[in-house]
Amino acid sequence: MVDNAWPSWLPLREDLCALTPYGAPQIHDVIQLNTNENPYPLPTEVAAAIVEEIAQVVKNLNRYPDRDAIELRTKLASYINAQSGTAFGVKNIWAANGSNEIIQTLMLACGGAGRTALGFTPSYSVHPLIAKTTGTAWESGLREEDFSLDIGRAINEISRIRPSLVFLTTPNNPTGTSTALRDIREIARVCGEIEALLVVDEAYAEFSSESSAVTLISEFPHVVVSRTMSKAFAFAGARVGYLVASEPAIEAMLVTRLPYHLSALTQAAASVAVDFAATLQSEINLLIGERERVAAALTSYGYRPVPSASNFILFALPHSSTMSSAQAWTYFLERGVLIRDVGLEGFLRVTIGTKDENAAFLTVAAECAATTK
């Protein structure tokens, strides 16, 4: 729906009239490497354990679910503690329907009219979108040409704009680049001085060798870390994200969350999946290995991949290319490979798939580079 096309009887907020629904194309019968999903289906043993658990839970669907998702949050706390050497308990975790819901709940709690959120672009485009729908003003700080953050510049932006919320995505989507923990600490320090909440979006943390910002929370209670089961746990379809934070920040989430927002089915399935974290880790290692292989192959064809700490790669088209990003995206799609045009001219983004999917992508990439010479 375009601006002014809404019927006059619909009292849609004026500031939303120009928006269109968010979403990447969902095209079937092609190799889907466009939404940073984990390409591996759940291992059979994990799927079987989930089905067994759901079979029990289904009998009680006449009742509302555990409003506070205690079992799932307790397990997620143990998972994070095992990964990061922290000592979080259930009161430091909040779970929701994907980390998108986490971000929305945070913005409802700490954003809104008269409040500003700041992020460093290019980054995850849903952050400014949720700012918009929650009536929060959005400011974009910039990244360097190599997509890294100049910390001095970022700190100046934060001090000048004095936002209520600062968003930092690491590893960053769509660039794949990560921010060092020592730099996040500097940003946390300045956020503390101006009483801003620092939201570190770590959707891809498991693919990175950098330490998690959850290790900063005991020192900086205004640091909150958003994580997801969509990527590392191969669980995008179940919709489970979670926040790791100090207790007051978690309590603020309870004020704005909907009652019974996380279904009993979701809680049960996710609790079982967390039990299998170690099994799923081997897939993460496979994907990291494939990421390095794909990046090396792209380089050999003349593309310029941005160093990635995630499960996708942003790459610049060869210098010799005469195609726009949109034309190159179509070239791949016409040959059965769906990747992502993220709106950065001269770049495209590919999600790391299975070995076979990556091979198919690289075959088209080699052809595309050859035709543009």
Ligand X SMILES: Cc1ncc(COP(=O)(O)O)c(C=O)c1O
Applying CB under 6 A, the residues found at the interface with ligand X are: 36, 98-100, 124, 169, 173, 201, 203, 228, 230, 236, 241
Q: Rounded to the nearest whole angstrom, what is the least distance from the CB of residue 84 to ligand X in the complex?
A: 19
Q: Select from 351, 279, 348, 267 the least CA-distant residue to 315.
A: 348
Q: Rounded to the nearest whole angstrom, what is the least distance from the CB of residue 34 to ligand X in the complex?
A: 10
Q: Nearer to ligand X by C-beta: 23 or 152?
A: 23
Q: Rounded to the nearest whole angstrom, what is the least distance from the CB of residue 35 to ligand X in the complex?
A: 7
What DSSP string runs through 267-320? HHHHHHHHHTHHHHHHHHHHHHHHHHHHHHHHHHTT-EEPP-SSSEEEEEPPTT
Residue number closest to ligand X, CB atom: 98
131, 111 Cβ separation under 8 angstroms: yes
DSSP type of residue 340: B
Q: Rounded to the nearest whole angstrom, what is the least distance from the CB of residue 373 to ligand X in the complex?
A: 33
Phi, psi of 32 (to 5 degrees): -95, 105
Q: Nearer to ligand X by C-beta: 88 or 167?
A: 167
Q: Nearer to ligand X by C-beta: 238 or 250?
A: 238
Q: Rounded to the nearest whole angstrom, what is the least distance from the CB of residue 366 to ligand X in the complex?
A: 27
Q: Rounded to the nearest whole angstrom, what is the least distance from the CB of residue 5 to ligand X in the complex?
A: 29
220, 189 Cβ separation under 8 angstroms: yes
Half-sphere exposure of 149 (CA within 13 A, CB side): 31
Q: Nearer to ligand X by C-beta: 106 or 216?
A: 106
Q: Select from 71, 116, 117, 69 the least CA-distant residue to 97.
A: 69
Q: Nearer to ligand X by C-beta: 312 or 331?
A: 312
311, 291 Cβ separation under 8 angstroms: yes
Q: Nearer to ligand X by C-beta: 65 or 174?
A: 174
